[in-house]
Amino acid sequence: MSNYPVAISGVGSYVPDQYIEISLTDRCPDLPMEYVIDIGFEKIHFADDNEFPVDMAISAARKAINRAKLSPSQIDIIIFSNFGVPEYYYWANYAKIHSELRAKKAQAFYLNQCHNSQLRAIEFGTNLICSNEHIQHILVISADSYRNVADRWQSFKGTFLSDGASACVLSRQKGKYTILGFKETNPESFSCVYNYPEEGLITALSEKKQLLTERALTVEGIFDPESCDIRFDGFFDQVRENVTALIEEAGLELSNIKRIITLNFNEKLCTQICKALKVKEDVISWTVGSEYGHIGPADILLNLDQILERRMVKKGDYIILLGTALDLSMMSCLVKC
Amino acid sequence: MNTVSIVSTGRYVPEFYELSEEAIEAEQLDPDRIHDLGTYKVHVDKQDEGYNMAVKAAQSAIAKAGITALDIDVLIISSGFGRKYLIHDDAAYLRYLIGAKKASAFRVEQGCNSAVVSLNYAFSRLKSDKRVHNILVISYEFFKKPLVNRWKSVESSILGDGASAAVIQKSTKGFNILGVYGVTDGYFCDIWRTDVGGLKHPFLGDNEADMTAFEYNIYKTAAEYLCNDKNKGMLQNVLVQNNKVVFDGLLEKLKMSYTDINKLVMYNVGIYVLKKVIKMVGIEEDKTSMYLSRQYGHIGNADILFNLDHMLDDGKFEDQDIVGLFSAGAGFSWGSVMLKYSA
């Protein structure tokens, strides 16, 4: 087990004030009640007309930097990641964040591994600090909005899409939330299921209007939209193998893990992960994630932020951050409080 | 062993090419601008090879490294401009096409400096994670109308299609990576932007204005953001200063100086830009990659690994050469890498 000299020194999140309570089903389109219940969200948040991912990212980043007791000028690197719907087809959004934060000495770039982008950015940042003695603080940010480009109820089967952002600062230090290690698992590829078939270099100009459609976003063959089940039989075995390997490398057992923080996909999936790992359902972050909907990769640090704010962990506790990309690549990260 | 090296590189360009002289009339270009840029031809993906260009560059690098796709632990994809679709997990898709079944795959973006970010990941991961042995970096670009006009969309270069790749290992063979450094200044990020085609102004494709706005046109946005002499002066200062800052920063960290650099590999923007960088570094032109800018034009973020591979084939490197890599990306960002070559 790598024992990195890196800790999460500050976490921040942002969700728009506006939300829809899922229990008010008249606000939802015609969806079977059983399907809505299986997804299990209490509410989803949505940005207003003048609020976009970069704006939300900056809000979350400022909180994380403040909580790390730093100023933006102390940040060495900014890694921005999201699910992938940008403000513009081509734009250096990471550079805009750099400019707005006035992180003058930082380098900024964008990273994408779909829903696993944020955990990948944390891993990237951790390795950068470990390998370069000149790097002290790295800011990891994720933000997404689906306004205009998706039907947040139906574009992505099995979940409801929400808007928001989250961030953390990684610092060269021990203590606070120390990163103990990462574990990756990569199954056979499911990459071909995920094109947005309009607007790009191949089909740049089309008569079809831009909207993330069911055709574009349904991960056919992996996810059963009727039952909210993952069709990929090996998925939960993969979760168990990944998490078990991570904690065994640290000389721990599953019973040592206080919280497992996952994406906010749906309640049924979280329940199945608990069963696969043989842990109680309150261990998983759905307890807080159900209040926010599925933002994308930002789910992970949003849930961590909420768990810390609600004092759901104490000093000495172990936390696992668990992310999955669209090709079902999986990454976990062990953190000690 | 704690030395990390680029042990192999690969490159690919489509067979078909277009000549700048012929494009002057066909595209109604300013002949003086084209001559100043110095690029006389660019390769063009006429047969829609697309991702296969990246696959071919990757296969070349993998073969030269003496490994197979199954040995790859991590695959990093980057393209400065060319998204095939607005949303597509191209990293996972290339992983599938290459057959790197055991690899995790993701994408980084920093405009035409993206390949330097990828190298930084590979360098830092291999330095700090003993479980990882082979990292594959792939850069690819292709440009198509109406979104991008390779002759007109960018002022400082002519855009060519192609791809490059590198295998990075814990090894003392090849190009030992001594250090990587980057700088970002986002003040002028809005110059490089398409106004339509995202959350703010979804492309509806049902009126002429949308279609016009969807075209990537640096002149249009630059005209808005560089509308006065103050902004023009600021941008010029930012561009010139950071070319130097990104080299100075790395040399300082490595306790080296400009005189230590034996060879210089740059991105393939216009000759008049490259000459300023060459002058700043204080190196003879024949020890740089400038000749490749003339032959291939700007293949976006694929340039630096493409040029490194090409120069190696051309016998440009000598044992123990210190090789500087330099590129910059829209937004703006600058990147430098220092290598030591072991023949």
Q: Where are the beta strands (DSSP E) in A62-176?
A: 77-81, 107-112, 137-144, 164-172
Best of A88, A218, A332 to substitute, by most chain B Cβ atoms within 10 angstroms, is A88
Is the per-residue pLDDT at B75 higher than 70?
yes
Measured between CA atoms, how close is B253 to chain A, in angstroms?
A: 8
pLDDT band at A243 (very low <50, low <70, confident <90, very high): very high
Within 8 A of A87 by CB-CB distance, chain B residues are 198-200
- Interval B211-222: pLDDT, tens: 777 777 777 777
Would the CB atoms of A90 and B109 count as touching at under 8 Å?
A: no
Give the end-to-end CA distance of chain A in Å, rounded to a whole number.
17
A37 Cβ contact partners less than 8 Å away, ≥ 6 residues apart: none
A185 Cβ contact partners less than 8 Å away, ≥ 6 residues apart: A238, A241, A242, A329, A330, A331
Give the pLDDT score at A235: 82
| DSSP conformation class of A225 | T
Would the CB atoms of A95 and B87 count as touching at under 8 Å?
A: no
- Interval A5-26: pLDDT, tens: 899 999 999 999 999 888 766 6
Is the per-residue pLDDT at B315 higher than 60?
yes
Q: Which residues pair with B110 in a beta bridge?
A: B112
Of B82, B106, B187, the CB nearest to A120: B106
Best of B168, B189, B208, B239 to substitute, by most chain A Cβ atoms within 10 angstroms, is B189
What's the average model confidence in pLDDT over B91-100?
Answer: 89
**Separation between Cα atoms, residue A124 and residue A141, nearest integer Å:** 13
**Separation between Cα atoms, residue A297 and residue B107, nearest integer Å:** 14
Range name among A109-118, A292-301, B140-149 with the lowest pLDDT average: B140-149
- Interval A308-332: pLDDT, tens: 999 999 999 999 999 988 777 899 9
Is the per-residue pLDDT at A114 higher than 60?
yes
DSSP H or E run through B59: helix B51-65
CA triplet A266, A239, B104: central angle to 5 degrees?
A: 105
pTM over 0.90: yes
Q: Which of A169, A156, A159 has the alpha carbon at shortest distance from A7?
A: A169
Q: Which of B149, B156, B155 has the alpha carbon at shortest distance from B44?
A: B149
Is the per-residue pLDDT at B206 higher than 80?
no
Give the pLDDT score at A176: 84
Within 8 A of A111 by CB-CB distance, chain B residues are 106-109
Write down the H helix ranges in chain A: 33-39, 53-67, 93-101, 117-131, 214-217, 235-249, 267-277, 286-289, 299-309
86-145 in chain B: CB under 8 A from chain A = 86-89, 91-93, 95-96, 101-111, 114, 117, 120-121, 123-125, 127-130, 142-144
Give the pLDDT score at A221: 45
A143 Cβ contact partners less than 8 Å away, ≥ 6 residues apart: A14, A53, A54, A56, A57, A60, A80, A82, A164, A165, A166, A295, A298
Q: Find out whether B96 and A191 touch, Cβ atoms under 8 Å.
A: yes
SS3 A256: helix
Q: Find out whether A43 and A293 touch, Cβ atoms under 8 Å.
A: yes
CA triplet B203, B204, B208: central angle to 5 degrees?
A: 95
**Separation between Cα atoms, residue A300 and residue A166, nearest integer Å:** 8
**Separation between Cα atoms, residue B268 and residue B43, nearest integer Å:** 13
pLDDT band at A32 (very low <50, low <70, confident <90, very high): confident
Is the per-residue pLDDT at B207 higher than 90?
no
Amino acid (one-letter) located at A94: Y
Distances in Å between the Cα of B290 and the Cα atoms of A63, A159, B37, B322 are: 46, 52, 11, 17
Give the pLDDT score at B43: 98
- Interval A249-298: pLDDT, tens: 999 999 999 999 999 999 988 999 999 999 999 999 999 999 999 999 99
What's the average model confidence in pLDDT over B123-132?
Answer: 94
* Region of B196 on the Ramachandran plot (φ > 0 left; ψ -120 to 50 alpha; else beta): beta
Nearest CA in chain A to B94: A191
Give the end-to-end CA distance of chain B in Å, rounded to a whole number.
19
Q: How many residue pairs bridge chain A and chain B with CB atoms within 8 Å of each other?
A: 252
ipTM > 0.85, yes or no: yes
SS3 A336: strand
Nearest CA in chain B to A327: B92
Backbone angles phi, psi at A110, to 5 degrees: -110, 145
| DSSP conformation class of A116 | T
Measured between CA atoms, how close is A312 to chain B, in angstroms?
A: 31
> Cis bond leading into B332, ω under 30°?
yes
| DSSP conformation class of A153 | T
**Separation between Cα atoms, residue B274 and residue B153, nearest integer Å:** 19
Give the pLDDT score at A218: 43
- Interval A140-181: pLDDT, tens: 999 999 887 777 887 777 889 999 999 999 999 877 899 999
Give the pLDDT score at A146: 87
Would the CB atoms of A201 and B200 count as touching at under 8 Å?
A: no
How many residues appear in chain B? 343
Q: Who wins on pLDDT, B206 or B240?
A: B240
Is the per-residue pLDDT at B24 higher than 80?
yes
Would the CB atoms of B193 and A108 count as touching at under 8 Å?
A: no
State chain B's mean pLDDT as an integer: 92
Q: Which residues pair with A107 in a beta bridge?
A: A77
CA triplet A135, A138, A141: central angle to 5 degrees?
A: 165
Of A130, A200, A205, the CB nearest to B211: A205
Residue B187 at interface with chain A, using a CB cutoff of 8 Å: yes
Pairing of strands B41-43, B162-170: unpaired
Would the CB atoms of B88 and A200 count as touching at under 8 Å?
A: yes
195-214 in chain B: CB under 8 A from chain A = 195-206, 211, 214
Backbone angles phi, psi at B297, to 5 degrees: 70, -165
**Separation between Cα atoms, residue B175 and residue B304, nearest integer Å:** 13
Within 8 A of A194 by CB-CB distance, chain B residues are 87-89, 92
> Cis bond leading into B146, ω under 30°?
yes
Give the pLDDT score at A207: 42
Give the pLDDT score at A196: 59
- Interval A36-70: pLDDT, tens: 888 899 999 999 988 999 999 999 999 999 999 99
Cα within 13 Å of Cα(A107), Cβ side: 28
Amino acid (one-letter) located at B200: K
Distances in Å between the Cα of A304 and the Cα atoms of A17, A65, A253, A262, B75 are: 19, 15, 21, 9, 28
Nearest CA in chain A to B215: A204
Range name among B185-199, B235-249, B278-292 with the lowest pLDDT average: B185-199
Percent of chain A with pLDDT over 90: 64
Of B103, B108, B193, the CB nearest to A91: B193
Is the per-residue pLDDT at B324 higher than 80?
yes
pLDDT band at A210 (very low <50, low <70, confident <90, very high): very low
Of A86, A98, A189, the CB nearest to B186: A98
Is the per-residue pLDDT at A199 higher than 90?
no
What's the average model confidence in pLDDT over A241-256?
Answer: 95
Q: Find out whether A79 and A119 touch, Cβ atoms under 8 Å.
A: no
- Interval B218-239: pLDDT, tens: 777 777 777 778 887 888 888 8
Q: Find out whether B57 and B140 touch, Cβ atoms under 8 Å.
A: yes
Percent of chain B with pLDDT over 90: 73
Within 8 A of A200 by CB-CB distance, chain B residues are 83-86, 88, 147
Percent of chain B with pLDDT over 70: 97
Would the CB atoms of B128 and A87 count as touching at under 8 Å?
A: no
Measured between CA atoms, how close is B147 to chain A, in angstroms?
A: 7
Nearest CA in chain A to B85: A200
Would the CB atoms of B96 and A97 count as touching at under 8 Å?
A: no
